[in-house]
């Protein structure tokens, strides 16, 4: 069986025919939010229903934080600090290098956020995150509660000023910048089971704000949850049948088949060319022939 499905022959530049999709660990309930710590040679990821953040290394899996306030997506900022989305506390936090947790955002215009889902930090230190309502719909991945705000995309500048920058999506979820940070991609997973559009939009960045949003690609089967860009500007997206690779012009180049429903991905490992994949009950990885765009 091949792990790959090639749609555009150009996909061959990005994969190695004999590199396997490896299952690294299993037994979780719904894993999400992978983030690579090259300095510690480990991966942090969320097991959301079990209210914990786990740490994987070649030595195995240990608990990094429990309870985790039902943490979901993570990233690192330019100082190497962990930045986390928390459903349970309906906030985004930063964990300092000394372990101190500070709040990046927990509300907007006097109302509580819904359940921050995924986050990225740009080179200027601005924190960008999505705030769909998934974490307050049930008690499974947080605490059931009333929605106070639309499902927006926010930016928080280094001074702590928060601003809603995308306000017309159904349920914004994964987000990623192009390598030069001139384009912002945002996945809309829609309200579950309603037939909402489930596509990835792309925005031009103008004066630090996303403008001219348009449909970049529609994932099929399933929908895009977590997304990342590589150093060539290709977009790698979760999908129901694995991970899809989408060229900068929006066409699907190829797929990596994964045996479980994929939620999110991140680049890490040596040369930042190992793609880590969170997929339902397990984490997987595959070594690619290209590095991720995200830093550090």
Interface contacts to Mg ion, rule CB under 5 A = 117-118, 173, 225
Write down the least CB distance from residue 35 to Mg ion, Å.
Answer: 13
**Cβ closest to Mg ion, residue 95 vs residue 237:** 237
**Cβ closest to Mg ion, residue 14 vs residue 229:** 229
Neighbouring residues of 27: CB distance < 8 A, sequence distance ≥ 6: 281, 282
How far is Cα 105 from Cα 135, in angstroms, rounded to an integer?
A: 16
**Cβ closest to Mg ion, residue 3 vs residue 114:** 114
Alpha helices, H only, 94-169: none
**Cβ closest to Mg ion, residue 69 vs residue 117:** 117
Write down the least CB distance from residue 12 to Mg ion, Å.
Answer: 29
Write down the least CB distance from residue 145 to Mg ion, Å.
Answer: 19
Contact yes or no for 173/224 (Cβ under 8 A): yes
Report residue 134: phi and psi, to 5°: -55, -40
How far is Cα 158 from Cα 203, in angstroms, rounded to an integer?
A: 22
Write down the least CB distance from residue 117 to Mg ion, Å.
Answer: 5
**Cβ closest to Mg ion, residue 86 vs residue 225:** 225
At 133, list the tokens: 């309502």
Give, for 34, the enclosing helix (H) or strand (E): strand 31-37
Write down the least CB distance from residue 206 to Mg ion, Å.
Answer: 26
Report residue 11: phi and psi, to 5°: -60, -30
At 212, list the tokens: 């001219």
Write down the least CB distance from residue 44 to Mg ion, Å.
Answer: 15
**Cβ closest to Mg ion, residue 15 vs residue 278:** 278
How far is Cα 211 from Cα 234, in angstroms, rounded to an integer?
A: 20
At 54, list the tokens: 């786990």
How far is Cα 121 from Cα 82, in angstroms, rounded to an integer?
A: 10
CB hemisphere CA count around 59 (13 angstroms): 6
């Amino acid at each position: 069986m091949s792990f790959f499905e090639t749609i555009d022959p150009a996909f061959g530049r990005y994969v190695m025919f004999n590199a396997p999709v490896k299952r690294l660990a299993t037994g979780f309930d719904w894993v999400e939010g992978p983030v690579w710590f090259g300095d510690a040679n480990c991966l942090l990821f969320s097991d959301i229903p079990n209210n914990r953040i786990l740490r994987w290394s070649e030595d195995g899996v240990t608990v990094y934080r429990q309870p985790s306030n039902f943490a979901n997506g993570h990233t690192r900022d330019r100082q190497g600090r962990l930045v986390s989305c928390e459903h349970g506390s309906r906030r985004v936090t930063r964990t300092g290098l000394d372990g101190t947790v500070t709040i990046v955002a927990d509300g907007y215009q006097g109302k509580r956020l819904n359940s921050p889902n995924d986050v990225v930090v740009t080179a200027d230190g601005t924190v960008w995150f999505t705030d769909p309502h998934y974490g307050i719909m049930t008690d499974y991945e947080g605490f059931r509660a009333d929605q106070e705000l639309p499902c927006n995309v926010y930016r928080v500048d280094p001074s702590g000023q928060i601003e809603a920058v995308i306000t017309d999506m159904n349920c914004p979820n994964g987000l990623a910048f192009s390598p030069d940070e001139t384009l912002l991609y945002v996945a809309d997973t829609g309200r579950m089971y309603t037939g909402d559009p489930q596509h990835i939009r792309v925005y031009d960045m103008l004066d630090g704000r996303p403008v001219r949003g348009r449909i970049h690609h529609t994932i099929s089967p399933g929908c895009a949850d977590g997304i990342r860009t590589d150093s060539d500007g290709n977009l790698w997206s979760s999908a129901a049948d694995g991970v899809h690779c989408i060229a900068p012009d929006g066409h699907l180049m190829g797929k990596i088949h994964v045996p479980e429903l994929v939620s999110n991905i991140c680049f890490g490992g040596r040369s930042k060319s190992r793609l880590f994949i969170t997929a339902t009950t397990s984490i997987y990885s595959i070594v690619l022939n290209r590095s991720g765009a995200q830093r550090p």
